[in-house]
Amino acid sequence: MSMCNNKLLKAAKNPLLVLLRLKNLLRSSFMRRRKLRIDLGKERDKLLNFLSVNFNVNAFDIYSEYVSSEFKTWYIAKKSELINLFGSSGVCSDFDCAVLYLLVRSMKPDIVVETGVLYGSSSAHILEALQENGSGHLYSIDLSNDPNLPSQDFFVRDIVKEQWQLIIGDAKVELPKLLDRLNHVDLFFHDSLHSFDHMSWEYSMVLKYISSRGVLSSHDVLTLLPFERNAFRVFCKQHHLKYQVFRNIGIALCKGSM
Ligand SMILES: C[S@@+](CC[C@H](N)C(=O)[O-])C[C@H]1O[C@@H](n2cnc3c(N)ncnc32)[C@H](O)[C@@H]1O
CATH of the domain at 214: 3.40.50.150
For the ranges 103-107, 171-175, 220-224, which has the lowest average pLDDT?
A: 220-224
Distance 143 CA to ligand 1 centre (A): 7
Over range 142-147, report the average pLDDT.
93
Task: Provide the pairing of β-strand 185-190 with 164-168.
Answer: unpaired
Closest CA to 23 of 87, 93, 80: 87
Q: Which of 192, 219, 223, 249 to mutate to test the pocket of ligand 1 (most atoms within 8 A of CB)?
A: 192
Q: How far apart are CA 152 and CA 123, in angstroms?
A: 9
Q: For the chain, give the mean pLDDT.
A: 88
> Separation of 166 CA from ligand 1 center, angstroms?
12
CB 121 near ligand 1, within 6 Å: yes
> Which pLDDT score is estimated for 227?
73
Question: Does 96 lie in the same domain as 30?
Answer: no
In a domain, 151, yes or no: yes
166 assigned to some structural domain? yes
Taking only the tens place, the pLDDT of each residue in 36-95 is 468 999 999 999 999 999 999 999 999 999 999 999 999 999 999 999 988 767 899 999
State the average pLDDT over residues 203-210. 97
Same domain, 48 and 24: no
Do both 138 and 90 map to the same domain? yes
The domain tally of the chain equals 2
Same domain (yes/no): 117, 68: yes
Measured by CA distance, the residue closest to atom 5 of ligand 1 is: 117
Distance 121 CA to ligand 1 centre (A): 11
Ligand 1 centroid – CA 220 distance (Å)? 11
Contact 215, 254 (CB under 8 A): yes
Residues 139, 113 contacting (CB under 8 angstroms): yes
Report which ligand 1 atom has the smallest distance to the Cα of 114. Answer: 6
Give yes or no: residues 107 and 229 share one domain: yes
pLDDT band (50, 70, 90) for residue 144 = very high
- Asked whether residue 100 falls in the same domain as residue 28, the answer is no
The rounded Å distance from CA 20 to ligand 1 centre is: 14
Q: Quickly state the pLDDT bin for 224 (edges 50, 70, 90).
A: confident
Residues 190 and 227 in one domain: yes
Q: Tell me how far apart the alpha carbons of residues 74 and 250 are, in angstroms, rounded to a whole number.
A: 27
Same domain for 103 and 139: yes
Residue 248 falls inside a structural domain = yes
Ligand 1 pocket mutation, candidates 191, 220, 223, 225, criterion most atoms within 8 A of CB? 191
**Ligand 1 lined by 136 (C-beta under 6 Å):** no
Tell me, yes or no, whether 258 lies in a domain.
no
Same domain, 126 and 80: yes
In the predicted model, is pLDDT for residue 223 greater than 60?
yes
Give this prediction's pTM. 0.88
Q: Are 16 and 44 contained in the same domain?
A: no
For residues 61 and 88, the answer to whether their CB atoms sit within 8 Å is no
Residue 161 lies in a domain: yes
Residues 52 and 32 in one domain: no
Query: 57 CA distance to ligand 1 centroid (A)?
Result: 31
Residue 24's domain comprises 1-37
- Ligand 1 within 6 A of CB of 112: no
Ligand 1 midpoint to CA 193 (Å): 6
Shared-domain flag, residues 95 and 205: yes
For ligand 1, say whether the CB of 91 is within 6 Å of any of its atoms.
yes
The 3-state secondary structure of the chain, one letter per residue = CCHHHHHHHHHHHCHHHHHHHHHHHHHHHHHHHHHCCCCHHHHHHHHHHHHHHHHCCCHHHHHHHHHCCHHHHHHHHHHHHHHHHHCCCCCCCHHHHHHHHHHHHHHCCCEEEEECCCCCHHHHHHHHHHHHHCCCEEEEEECCCCCCCCCCCCCCCHHHHHHEEEEECCHHHHHHHHHHHHCCEEEEEECCCCCHHHHHHHHHHHHCCEEEEEEEEEECCCCCCCCCCCHHHHHHHHCCCEEEEECCEEEEECCCCC
Tens of pLDDT along 170-182? 999 999 999 999 9
